[in-house]
């Protein structure tokens, strides 16, 4: 395939919020010939078409008929319901999704009746504002997009070409490896940030927060996240997340014991390890 050939002829995106809308924008700006259908509520479809994130759309999954790729980009629970409908309708399309956990949707595919071609997906990208109006064609540029192949272990090259074409860096791993990794790099930081803001607020009070510096602000950036999304993610990834929470509690308890003993070894050890991992993390962002 030449770099200019569109990897798909017609793509249906179910759920055109920030992620689905940005994907539509990126696809249409890279390959204007690809027909993009938006599946969402009528007012969202209208906005997607107006912003050129889709050519057309409708508010039922039947609109995905004839697509050769279907992207499920709605909230996780909705994605599972859409998948069931696609299985009932019957489709030859390749199906992928953009959800934050992967073992649950893979289980749903296996247990859901008619067989479909499914490759799980998870773009590691986002913005503070949700919704189609916040969509950007460069949302995925330089960002990771994890793919978890089905039981045959292969990733169709057209899907890889599509995602690399919108600027993403594709990482392939099993659904288990994905959920274990995301527990550490995403789900644990979210719970830690919320727990920290809760504890700091209760201790400092409204007036005390006036004396906070930018360090607290950054450390608690995630603490504005709403519970509904995270309730589902935590439940779907309970086992790995429990293990990582235990490790964080143990690290904090280690620091606490060092303070009580008056020994600096726990603090030195934790800070040295943290600084080393922080440099590794920043190297990845510098490359992106």
Provide the minimum distance between the beta carbon of 38 and a copy of itself in the complex, in angstroms, as a whole number. 25
Residue 263, token pair as written in the block: 């020994």
Provide the minimum distance between the beta carbon of 11 and a copy of itself in the complex, in angstroms, as a whole number. 24
Residues 6+ apart with CB under 8 A from 95: 69, 70, 71, 72, 83, 86, 116, 117, 118, 119
Provide the minimum distance between the beta carbon of 273 and a copy of itself in the complex, in angstroms, as a whole number. 4
- For a copy of itself, which is the closer residue by CB, 41 or 284? 284
Cross-sheet strand order for the sheet of 117-123: 56-58, 35-39, 10-14, 69-72, 94-97, 117-123, 144-148, 169-172
- For a copy of itself, which is the closer residue by CB, 11 or 182? 182
Chain-centroid distance of CA 214 in Å reads: 26
- For a copy of itself, which is the closer residue by CB, 114 or 259? 259
Which one, of 28, 38, 39, 37, lies nearest residue 6 by Cα? 28
Dist CA 47 CA 51 (whole Å): 6
Provide the minimum distance between the beta carbon of 166 and a copy of itself in the complex, in angstroms, as a whole number. 17
Chain-centroid distance of CA 85 in Å reads: 23
- For a copy of itself, which is the closer residue by CB, 19 or 48? 19
- For a copy of itself, which is the closer residue by CB, 51 or 216? 216
Provide the minimum distance between the beta carbon of 132 and a copy of itself in the complex, in angstroms, as a whole number. 21
Provide the minimum distance between the beta carbon of 248 and a copy of itself in the complex, in angstroms, as a whole number. 5
Which one, of 80, 86, 132, 71, lies nearest residue 107 by Cα? 80
Ranges of H-type helices in the chain: 18-30, 42-50, 76-89, 103-111, 157-165, 175-182, 188-208, 214-219, 227-236, 238-261, 265-287
Provide the minimum distance between the beta carbon of 44 and a copy of itself in the complex, in angstroms, as a whole number. 24
Q: In angstroms, how far apart are the furthest CA atoms of the chain? A: 69
CB atoms closer than 10 angstroms to residue 281: 11
- For a copy of itself, which is the closer residue by CB, 92 or 262? 262
Residue 55 near residue 34 (C-beta atoms within 8 A)? no
Provide the minimum distance between the beta carbon of 179 and a copy of itself in the complex, in angstroms, as a whole number. 12
- For a copy of itself, which is the closer residue by CB, 153 or 215? 215
Dist CA 108 CA 34 (whole Å): 29
- For a copy of itself, which is the closer residue by CB, 48 or 76? 76
């Amino acid at each position: 395939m030449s770099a200019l050939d569109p990897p798909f002829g017609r793509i249906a995106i179910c759920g055109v919020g920030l992620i689905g809308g940005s994907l539509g924008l990126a696809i249409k700006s890279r390959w204007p010939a690809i027909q993009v259908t938006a599946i969402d509520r009528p007012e969202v479809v209208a906005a997607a078409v107006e912003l050129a994130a889709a050519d057309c759309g409708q508010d039922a999954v039947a609109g995905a008929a004839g697509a050769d790729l279907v992207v499920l980009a709605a909230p996780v629970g909705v994605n599972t319901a859409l998948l069931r409908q696609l299985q009932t309708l019957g489709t030859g399309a390749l199906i992928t999704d953009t959800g934050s956990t992967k073992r649950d949707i893979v289980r749903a595919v296996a247990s859901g009746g008619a067989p479909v071609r499914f490759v799980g997906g998870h773009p590691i990208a986002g913005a503070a504002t949700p919704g189609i109006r916040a969509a950007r064609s460069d949302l995925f540029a330089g960002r990771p997009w994890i793919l978890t192949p089905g039981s045959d272990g292969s990733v169709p090259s057209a899907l890889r070409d599509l995602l690399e074409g919108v600027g993403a860096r594709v990482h392939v791993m099993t659904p288990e490896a994905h959920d274990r990794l995301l527990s550490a790099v995403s789900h644990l930081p979210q719970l830690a940030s919320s727990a920290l803001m809760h504890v700091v607020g209760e201790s400092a009070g409204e007036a005390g927060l006036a004396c906070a510096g930018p360090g607290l602000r950054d450390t608690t950036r995630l603490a504005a996240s709403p519970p509904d999304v995270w309730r589902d993610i935590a439940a779907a990834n309970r086992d790995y997340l429990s293990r990582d929470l235990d490790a964080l509690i143990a690290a904090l308890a280690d620091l606490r014991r060092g303070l009580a003993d008056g020994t600096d070894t726990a603090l030195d050890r934790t800070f040295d390890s943290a600084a080393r991992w922080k440099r590794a993390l920043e190297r990845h962002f510098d490359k992106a």
